[in-house]
Amino acid sequence: MQDAQFVPIEDVGKKFSVSLSTVRSWLRLGFIPKSTYIKVGNTYRFDVDAVVKALTAQPDDAVVVKEAVFKPDEEVVESPVQLELNFNPDEDL
């Protein structure tokens, strides 16, 4: 078993080229699982390799939102829309 190296939140932001507020949002929204970090008081330390795996893995139970498509004089057709994470550094600045 390999020992994980736990690093501060700033290192996670640098790894993904995003701001600290973005990393904090990912924490609040549950994108970064509790199993990938240690929290003592207000201090977080992250296993970066585990965070990368968690954020880039395909979920087993992907969230699918159905979007109704309305066409005049036709019945409603539902088409699935899959949500995905976009880690674009230019948009997260």
Helix axes 9-16, 48-56, angle to 10 degrees: 50
Q: What is the pLDDT of residue 1?
A: 42
pTM for the model stands at 0.57
Share of the chain above pLDDT 70, in %: 58
In a domain, residue 43? The reply is: yes
CA gap 5, 24 in Å, rounded:
20
In a domain? residue 75: yes
pLDDT reading at 78 higher than 90: no
β partners of residue 77:
69
CATH number at residue 73: 1.10.10
What's the domain range around 20?
A: 6-82
Number of folded domains that form the chain: 1
> Tens of pLDDT along 41-68?
989 999 999 999 988 886 655 555 555 5
Count other Cβ atoms within 10 Å, centred on residue 27: 19
